[in-house]
Structure 1
Amino acid sequence: MKETKQLLDDITVTIEHAQSNTPKYILYLHGGGLIYGSKTDLPHALKNRFLDQGYTILSLDYLLDPNTSVAEIIETLNKSFSVLGKMIIQEQPFGICGRSAGSYLMFHLTKHLGRNKEITPNFLINFYGYTDFEFLKKDPSPTERTLTAEVLTGIDQETPLADDPLMTRALLYHYGQQQGILADYYGLPKSQDWSDYAIREEELADFPPCFSTASTTDQEVPFASSKRLSKQIPDSRFKPVYDLEHDFLKQTSEPQVQTVLKELSDWLSAKESF
């Protein structure tokens, strides 16, 4: 059964119930460079594994850049989770699954929950995510197709919004990436001192166990970012894949991706405390 509930004015959560007598949850935060994407994009292959293991899935909206700054996105996410915790999760076990930019928000939410002594996740699942924006300081990689400002015609960059189900804002993200202006979209300081937007190593040391995966040929987020997390977060697991694109999760028929999903299921099953 699937249902949608309103949490804040612009934020909803879609709930897909597992057939389980013991309530437990996975919160899903989608990817899209913080600029596009939708909570509806969780691949069926992963969704079904969560449901089969008895996890009810909570797919959550969050506000998008550049209509809203990163700082405001994180603040609103913390508020929406507070409502979600009181409304649905309460004291039941839960984990968080983040995908790329969704992982970045997952790490900030986890930091916030621990710092404020609120209910905290039992585990984290990181698909090619990151904990800071240092990689944006590198020169953009050349691409086969150079986008011009004309592709942005009709894309609203002012009105706050929290869902992009048709992925129409993907062009805005790729334009910002090619032009090297994602930091401007995110509202990051011009000084390039972005330490306030990063998760520090000593903070990661207090995080729950994390399953991470990334591709060696990732062209958007440095492979080393996800690999390093497995050493910085205690009791974690890192499963690399080779020669796939950044968002390889959508390639669910690819043998390496099937192996990742199987190992993730085994990892979850092995954590009896979950």
Structure 2
Amino acid sequence: MTKQIEMTLNELSYPVNVTIYHNMAVVPKACILYFHGGGLLYGSRLDLPQLHVNSLTNAGYLIISYDYPLAPAAKIDIILKSVIDSINHYLLNRSLYVSQELPYFLWGRSAGAYLCLLASKDQRLLLPPKGILSYYGYGFLCDSWFDTPNSYYCSLPPVNSSCLNAVSDQVHTEGNLDSHYSIYVYARQTGSWKSLFYEGRDKYFFLDYSLRTCEKLPAPLFCAHSMNDTDVPYSEFLNLCSMYQAKQFVVPGSVHDFDRNEADPAATQLLNATVEFLNNHTDRFL
């Protein structure tokens, strides 16, 4: 039976909530630190489908899911620092999470994968992970797709900039769909997405907040993507895999977060491939 434990980390630069998923009947062999998607503008640590929770905890992996500050109230420097602080908190306080010292992996979906990739190479991280799971993630390796209008979102009813007034300008970590998703649609319709989470010269964005200058990641990489992804182009996935010799999982179709449909066989296949990757990179440390 999977037990769900809630914590709040008040001692970090910005307080974040944490949810731990642990199958009490299975001896854990590693921890997975999870960061949700949402274009840095919305989302919640509680977005994991039950299929994912069951598949990974049944296989012996304890999942620790974190919130983080959201744009536009928080910019990428603050967001990334929060993610690194959360990972370091686990590394310095493992007994709060699990009764034994275990290797850890980073796992993100979409924007969460982007944050995991950035965090993994950051010198502020106390210890690198044993592996990184990127579900439809990105590193801003290809030009234009993120700062020009997106054809899929432009096919939706237009969203006015007034949507920005509906959310707090105070730093916060909860971004529900009702209040925050329209900001992402607006950002992708207008090509203003990057400007909502980064302020500064492009030169420093690519130096500090992309993977363009990162020749090597500190851990093996698993990447999953759909071939006609509406949010993150397939070319971004191919570049990411090519740069870091990633283990690939590819599905046809155009759904960005294709694994959200638990009834789709692709979701089960993805989880099976994920567990295989985790096992391959965990066994050597046991």
Say if 2:146 is the partner of 1:144: no
Q: Is residue 91–residue 119 contact of structure 1 (8 Å, CA) maintained in 2?
A: no
Give the alignment of 1:16-165 within 5 angstroms. 16-19=21-24, 20-88=26-94, 91-112=101-122, 115-116=123-124, 118-132=126-140, 134=143, 135-141=145-151, 142-156=154-168, 158-165=169-176
AA of the residue aligned to 1:37 = G
| Partner residue, 1:198 | 210
> Match of 1:267, SS?
helix
CA distance in 2, matches of 1:149, 1:200: 31
Alpha-carbon distance change, 165 to 25 in structure 1, aligned in 2, over 3 angstroms: farther
AA of the residue aligned to 1:61 = D
Alpha-carbon distance change, 263 to 152 in structure 1, aligned in 2, over 3 angstroms: same
Displacement of 1:103 in angstroms is 0.5
Q: Is residue 30–residue 98 contact of structure 1 (8 Å, CA) maintained in 2?
A: yes
Alpha-carbon distance change, 220 to 92 in structure 1, aligned in 2, over 3 angstroms: same
Displacement of 1:152 in angstroms is 4.3
Displacement of 1:91 in angstroms is 4.6
CA distance in 2, matches of 1:151, 1:22: 44
Gaps of 5+ in 1: none
Q: Is residue 74–residue 109 contact of structure 1 (8 Å, CA) maintained in 2?
A: yes
Aligned length: 269
Say if 2:252 is the partner of 1:242: yes
| Partner residue, 2:194 | 183
Alpha-carbon distance change, 155 to 206 in structure 1, aligned in 2, over 3 angstroms: closer
Displacement of 1:84 in angstroms is 2.2
Q: Is residue 149–residue 190 contact of structure 2 (8 Å, CA) maintained in 1?
A: no
AA of the residue aligned to 1:10 = P
Alpha-carbon distance change, 190 to 268 in structure 1, aligned in 2, over 3 angstroms: closer
Displacement of 1:108 in angstroms is 1.2
AA of the residue aligned to 1:69 = K
Displacement of 1:75 in angstroms is 1.5
TM-score after normalising by structure 1? 0.89
Q: Is residue 215–residue 244 contact of structure 1 (8 Å, CA) maintained in 2?
A: yes
- Residues 110-155 of structure 1: per-residue CA shift (max 9 Å, x gap): 112xx35722211111111011274323343231311123444532
> Match of 1:83, SS?
helix
AA of the residue aligned to 2:127 = I
Q: Is residue 40–residue 165 contact of structure 1 (8 Å, CA) maintained in 2?
A: no
CA distance in 2, matches of 1:67, 1:75: 15
| Partner residue, 1:170 | 181
CA distance in 1, matches of 2:269, 2:102: 29
Q: Is residue 31–residue 104 contact of structure 2 (8 Å, CA) maintained in 1?
A: yes
AA of the residue aligned to 1:75 = K
CA distance in 1, matches of 2:140, 2:7: 31
Say if 2:223 is the partner of 1:212: yes
CA distance in 1, matches of 2:180, 2:119: 24
CA distance in 2, matches of 1:147, 1:117: 38
CA distance in 2, matches of 1:180, 1:64: 18
What is the Cα-based RMSD across aligned positions, in Å? Answer: 2.2
Alpha-carbon distance change, 99 to 167 in structure 1, aligned in 2, over 3 angstroms: farther
CA distance in 2, matches of 1:152, 1:66: 8
Q: Is residue 126–residue 211 contact of structure 1 (8 Å, CA) maintained in 2?
A: yes
Deviates more, 1:43-52 or 1:74-83: 74-83
Deviates more, 1:71-80 or 1:119-128: 71-80
